Amino acid sequence: MSKLVNYLIGALLIAAVSCSAPNQSSETSSSSSNEEVKSEAKYSYDPNGTVVSFTAFKTTDKVGVGGKFLEFDVTPKTAEVSNAIDILPGLTFSIPVSSIETNDKGRNGKIVQYFFGTLANNETIKGEVKSVSNGKATVSITMNDMTKDVELVAKADKNVVVMKGSIDVATWNGLDAINALNKVCYDLHKGADGQSKLWSDVELFVKAKLAQ
């Protein structure tokens, strides 16, 4: 009788082990499959999904005037990345200033002629994203024959990357260009107090929807 009991107990243990093994293997396989799907996600730069915009300010009340650049040449250091934010480090750009658009043809022409026209080597704005860390991007910008670093906020949500922040044109010795533009637009830059002013700080906003 005891032999029969021992036999039954042994059979049950073998059955239990043999039933649990396939389930564990299945779970491991499923987990590995999910990890592979995640690792296969790739993002690449898409110029058609990119907007380069800015806001300048006039009058002593600091009224914003928005605009954007319709043309830009962007070259990422890495063609494909697994994390969207990684498209930024090493990325270089060149922006023809003649592509400026403020929804006012006359104003576009004055900005190109009197602001950018006052600067040296004034056909393009060039730069590079030198590094990205802790939600900040260090970007070198070349304008008026000078290259200066600025810090912008940098963040990504899925396949959308955003950089934004403020720069001061005075950093690139651009006050003569500010004054030249303000002079030709003197009355247009007057506020309620009758004073004419064009501010040297400009807000930048870049948004890129990466291809998947």
The sign of the torsion formed by the CA atoms of 91, 70, 189, 203 equals negative
At 50, the pLDDT band (50, 70, 90 cuts) reads: very high
Q: Is 17's pLDDT higher than 90? A: no
Rounded mean pLDDT, 94-106: 98
Residue found under tokens 């010795």: 173
Per cent of the chain over pLDDT 70 is 81
Q: Is 123 helix (H, G, I), strand (E, B) or coil?
A: coil
Rounded mean pLDDT, 95-117: 98
3-state DSSP of 39-62: HCCCEECCHHHEEEEEEEEECCCC
What is the model's pLDDT at position 41? 74
**What are the residue ranges spanned by the domains of the chain?**
1-40, 43-209
Q: Taking a C-beta distance cutoff of 8 angstroms, is the pair 176, 46 a contact? A: no
Q: Taking a C-beta distance cutoff of 8 angstroms, is the pair 158, 167 a contact? A: no
More confident residue, 148 or 7: 148
What is the model's pLDDT at position 26? 47
CA angle 71, 75, 79 (to 5 degrees): 130
CA angle 56, 131, 128 (to 5 degrees): 55
Mean pLDDT score of the chain, rounded to an integer?
A: 87
**Alpha carbons 212 and 159: distance in angstroms, whole number:** 7
The H or E element that residue 36 is part of is: helix 2-39
Question: CATH classification of 43-209, choosing from 3.65.10.10, 2.30.30.830, 3.40.190.10, 2.40.128.110?
Answer: 2.40.128.110
At 40, the pLDDT band (50, 70, 90 cuts) reads: low
Number of neighbouring beta carbons within 10 Å of residue 61: 11
8-12, 70-74, 193-197 — which is least confidently predicted? 8-12
Radius of gyration of the chain, Cα coordinates, nearest whole angstrom: 29
Rounded mean pLDDT, 17-32: 46
The H or E element that residue 17 is part of is: helix 2-39
Which of 198, 21, 12, 210 is closest to 114 using CA atoms? 198
Q: Is 115's pLDDT higher than 70? A: yes
Whole-model pTM: value is 0.79
- Enter the tokens of residue 26: 């299945």
Report pLDDT digits (tens) over 165-183. Answer: 999 999 999 999 999 999 9
**Alpha carbons 50 and 67: distance in angstroms, whole number:** 14
